[in-house]
Structure 1
Amino acid sequence: MTITSHSSGDTATGAAPDNEADILALYRARLSKGRATLAELFGSHMEVESSGSWLTTSDGEKFLNCGGYGVFIMGARHPRVVEAVQRQLNTHPVATRILLEPTVARAAEALASIAPRGLERVHFSLSGAEAVETGLKLARAAGRRRIVSMRGGYHGKTMGALSATAKAVYQDPFRPLLADVVHLPYGDPEALRAELSAHPGEDCVIIEPVQGEGGVVLPPQGYLKQVEELVREYEGFLLLDEVQTGMGRLGEWWGADIEDIRPDVLLVGKALGGGVVPVSAAIATDKAFRPFDKDPYVHTGTFSGQPLLMAGVQAAIQVMQEERLVTRARDIGARLLPEITRIARRNLPGLVTEVRGRGLLIGVELAEPGLAGELLIELFNHGVVANHSMNGNSVVRFTPPAVLTEADERFLLDSFDKATRDLVRQAATMPEGGS
């Protein structure tokens, strides 16, 4: 597959002297050889600038960013978030963590104010995986020594989070992982009942309201409520992993809101930093949070709740509220999903299995993983960045921002139309059984 140019943009001015070959060599020498190989599939382009829904490469080409793994719900470099972070950078970016510091208190209050009912206590981290670890530790401190997760679920790659992520290719190099971990079918309440009834009072259940990395897998209607009820019936502990689905991605503030469930701990990340700073959080009930009240040093991190990040959190929440981005995510998704479905069915007969989604989390499942990779490249050729799905590698995933304009929406659909037509032409020339 060859990467082609989709525009004749002028060369970016003020670019660093390094060219793509120099950077690729540094990736191979200092970072990941595998990541360098992946970059070559996309022409070794370097992204050097971003704004709103668009990113710019070193050669001046612009791409509609429908990737980013769910980070950019409000686009890149939203001016309100940048301003707040810049102001904090110029005054007090990093705190001692000994004295009181106002930005973390205000950020916790802002996050609790938009959280599902009963979730009032906050612990901040940097990554989604760290938020998962926080939730697992709270469960363990509450006496729930077993972990129950769902097949296809993705929770991160630190040791506890990896133990809950049911994919051997990520787990096998690092075994032994945590003991007493069970992976059940997603959407099967009876399998969950069997596990919980066999170990009453011992299980921590971690689940996503929609499996993003699993390939945008939606649960059966009523399933999440059944999960909550079963966990309560058998005195378990419920972690709702909304690192990807939270902060409006599904067209609701939280996936928890869809069926009005209340976990013991809700995990949030990605979009929480407004696409400007890396930050995550575990939002817990007062009861679940009690182990952290007993000793302020039992679970800490040097950069947890640092002022620079907390300024980003406060601004991001304000932007989401004042610009009604949750509603925009729902409305834009309601327009995009049927159009993407229509184009896929028309252009990819026999090659597309299903198109599914909620809000601005949309997945296109191809008949085989190789086709998904080819479609990602064809989309790139037509000016759109999308993502693969780590636990559903035959699924191309779109996570566009809620700041798309009507012109952006038309560009996305037109590019998807062209990319799928090109995919059909490519598929016709592929040798049978491979790409």
Structure 2
Amino acid sequence: MSAPSRVSAATRPDPEAGQATYDLDRAHVFHSWSAQDKISPLPVAGGENATFWDFEGNEYLDFNSQMVNLNLGHQHPKLVQAIQEQAGKLATIAPSFANDTRSEAARLIAGVAPEGMNHVFFTNGGAEAVENAVRMARIHAGRDKVMAAYRSYHGATATAITLTGEPRRFNNRHTDGGVVHFQGPYTYQSPFWSENEEQESERALEHLERQIVLEGAHTIAAIIMEPVVGGMGVIVPPVGYLKGLKEICDKYGILFIADEVMVGFGRCGTWFTFENFDVTPDLITFAKGSNSGYVPLGGVVISDKIHDTFAEKPFPGGLTYSGHPLACAPVVATFEVFEEENILERVRDLGERVVRPRLEELREKHAIVGDVRGLGLFWAIELVKDKETREPLVPYNPSGDQMTPMNEFAAACKKAGLWPYIGMNRTHIAPPLTISEEDLLRGLDIIDEALGGIGGYAG
């Protein structure tokens, strides 16, 4: 691959600088979710919109938006300018003071939330947003238990990792004894032996209500769920499920927390993804896309009834950097960009006009592709050994050689200039919402070619 034409003179290929960056990383940086001696992190020299490049000059389409947070792409000038201007004006101020940038960010977020959700508590990221949303729910409800789905990820802090339903929770000490897991809907690999979406929705709701009763509804403060499951497979809930879940919550006086950390701020074509499913939560957690991760930020959007719980008594929580001005400035800029560039409209258009039909073609073309699903610019391709049995290409929580076919797929994508997301037997498609149609199509073509290269693993 040649050096990308977008590389400025200051970031032209510099292998020596790349090697120095790598050596320092390996000498001093401890990486998350990794066996430290088994990783080889790529030194990144720069990025622009949907592309980043290394010190050798090799460029990659970013089809995972880093960690599904770079919604407005690398180095968006409006976001960069907002941070620079805020740093020149007031770099930081404690959360106990009123700050114009923080207040405006909160106003804008509340403005796209449902009616009756007028207040925002800012955190440093998604996990802390979940921790504080659960704390609010428990105090408001006067109950302790919180229910979460098995196929979920809610963060790596104490309560958040206990709520998490996927394998990363296995080797963590579960410090929150009030967490209860349940089976959420997953039509393609149905845990309820359903034959269609209608059955899956009905049976999943029956399972949930039965478990609530057996647990003791009066002991359950909240149910937390990703409106579209993120890291565990871009699982879009069947029609009626989220609405039915909220009805069950209301029946038993249980709060519904929508975890929008990954899917919020346009990822699925609406400000918040739950808008696609005719449901209104009691609390909303957010982070990633709110400012594209340019500065760490998360938060909780709070319903008025929960806010009023703390009108006369203090909320027992806080953070030194809550609503940090340098983090809130790109939030304000994000709203400007969404309007100026018609982000929500283009996400819906690209998702339905370009991505959906192209992925459906791949499903018909490749024996190894079992299912494709998604909304907006958030999709999954699920790979199988056999389309009839739907046996996954690699097992749940794979290890070692079990990941060989997925590793081969990833290597082929990278060689062709695309950085993919790999999760068990799936690859996800989550590029920046600002990606050009040309780059989107080129990335899908690379995935098509890479799928052909591992087609022999299908039975």
- TM-score, length of structure 2 as denominator length: 0.84
* Distance across 2 between alignment mates of 1:117 and 1:232: 17
Out of 379, 399, 406, the residue aligned to residue 362 of structure 1 is 379
Is contact 2:285-2:300 (8 Å) kept? Answer: yes
C-alpha deviation, 1:322, in angstroms: 2.6
Is contact 2:94-2:320 (8 Å) kept? Answer: no
Q: Which amino acid aligns with 1:95?
A: I
- Write the mapping of 1:40-79 to structure 2, written as runs, cut at 5 A: 40=40, 44-67=41-64, 68-79=66-77
Aligned twin of 1:342: 361
* Percent of paired sites with the same residue: 27
Structure 2 residue 307 is the aligned partner of structure 1 residue 289: yes
Tell me the SS of whatever aligns to 2:89: coil
How big is the alpha-carbon RMSD for the aligned residues of Structure 1 and Structure 2?
Answer: 2.4
* Distance across 1 between alignment mates of 2:133 and 2:139: 10
Is contact 1:53-1:65 (8 Å) kept? Answer: yes
Is contact 1:151-1:183 (8 Å) kept? Answer: yes
Aligned twin of 1:250: 268
Aligned twin of 1:352: 369
C-alpha deviation, 1:363, in angstroms: 0.6
Deviations 1:240-291 (A, max 9, x none): 0011111111112212211221111011111111342221110010111234
Deviations 1:132-182 (A, max 9, x none): 011110011121310111110111111101111123x43343324211321
Unaligned runs of 5+ in 2: 186-203, 385-392, 395-402
Tell me the SS of whatever aligns to 1:177: coil
Is contact 2:265-2:289 (8 Å) kept? Answer: yes
C-alpha deviation, 1:91, in angstroms: 1.6
Distance 1:372 1:354, change over 3 A: farther
Aligned twin of 2:195: none
Is contact 1:116-1:256 (8 Å) kept? Answer: no
Aligned twin of 2:152: 153
Aligned twin of 1:206: 224
Structure 2 residue 193 is the aligned partner of structure 1 residue 196: no
Is contact 2:2-2:57 (8 Å) kept? Answer: no
* Distance across 2 between alignment mates of 1:329 and 1:38: 37
Is contact 1:248-1:325 (8 Å) kept? Answer: yes
- Write the mapping of 1:215-234 to structure 2, written as runs, cut at 5 A: 215-234=233-252
Distance 1:330 1:385, change over 3 A: same
C-alpha deviation, 1:117, in angstroms: 2.5
Distance 1:82 1:118, change over 3 A: same
Aligned twin of 1:422: 453
Aligned twin of 1:319: 337
Tell me the SS of whatever aligns to 2:236: coil
Tell me the SS of whatever aligns to 2:171: helix
Is contact 2:240-2:277 (8 Å) kept? Answer: yes
Is contact 1:65-1:384 (8 Å) kept? Answer: yes
Deviations 1:322-353 (A, max 9, x none): 3211111111111112202313431x31x222
Is contact 1:149-1:205 (8 Å) kept? Answer: yes
